[in-house]
Amino acid sequence: MSVPGAALREALVAAARQLDALGLNRGTAGNVSVRCAGAGADADGYLITPTGMPPISIGAADVVVMPIDGDAPVDAASRRPSSEWRFHRDLYRARRDAGAIVHTHSPFATTLACLGRDIPPFHYMVARAGGRDIRCAAYATFGTQALSDAAVAAMSDRRACLLARHGMIALGRDLEAALALAVEVESLAEVYWRALAVGEPGCLPDDEMDRVAAQFRDYGQPSARR
């Protein structure tokens, strides 16, 4: 069995620390994972941050290797994985386009999630999350299969969602893309929150959001498209 390389472990740790530095997570909140090969004899897996450790304390050796088709670390002597490993596993199973997943308790996204609000198409950049809106998944206890099921449903045809009374999830083809989308969703959540302080903002029509989504498919430089 091959072992995921040190470079990927370091990149995962760096992403977790960047979320903390950007204020998207604080303390031990949130988690990050990245898909990898070599997490089992015949299957891919994923690396995930350990539970209950602030990013500043996490080193490459603390990163946990998990199989896609299992529920226990590949190495029985490793750290315990994030309590939210289930929705990471299930999203990788459901979404071949998911190369990395970011989960945050960022303040504005979490505020909307505590209100049970979707983020509607009040701004064209909502389409960066893959659709006409950013859904808020139904509430379920953290770390449970029920929460994973709710998250997978809310992420259908989307790259981001809110989790009711909890936080936010974003996925991308790699760590850079997932982190960038998490930043974008938090920014949209902040603008929407501020707009709600004045009144209920209007929404762009479905046909316009579809045009915007089509534009985003070819947006950016070829090597950096997300």
Residue 221 — pLDDT band, cuts 50, 70, 90?
low
- What are the domain boundaries of the chain? 6-224
Question: Pairing mode, if any, of strands 100-104 and 136-137?
Answer: unpaired
Hey, what are 35's tokens?
């898909």
* 6-224 topology per CATH: L-fuculose-1-phosphate Aldolase (3.40.225)
Q: Any idea which residues carry the catalytic annotation?
A: 84
Find, among 59, 88, 56, the residue nearest to 73 by Cα.
Answer: 88
Q: Supply the pLDDT for residue 2.
A: 47
pLDDT > 90? residue 42: no
| Mean pLDDT, residues 193-215 | 95
- Quick: pLDDT tens for 127-150: 999 999 999 999 999 999 999 999
Residue 76 — pLDDT band, cuts 50, 70, 90?
confident
Residue 41 — pLDDT band, cuts 50, 70, 90?
very low
Find, among 59, 12, 19, the residue nearest to 182 by Cα.
Answer: 19
Q: Supply the pLDDT for residue 38.
A: 62
Give the separation between CA 173 and CA 155, rounded to whole angstroms.
Answer: 15
Angle between helices 175-198 and 6-21 (to 10 degrees): 20
pLDDT > 60? residue 54: yes
- Quick: pLDDT tens for 85-123: 999 999 999 999 999 999 999 999 999 999 999 999 999
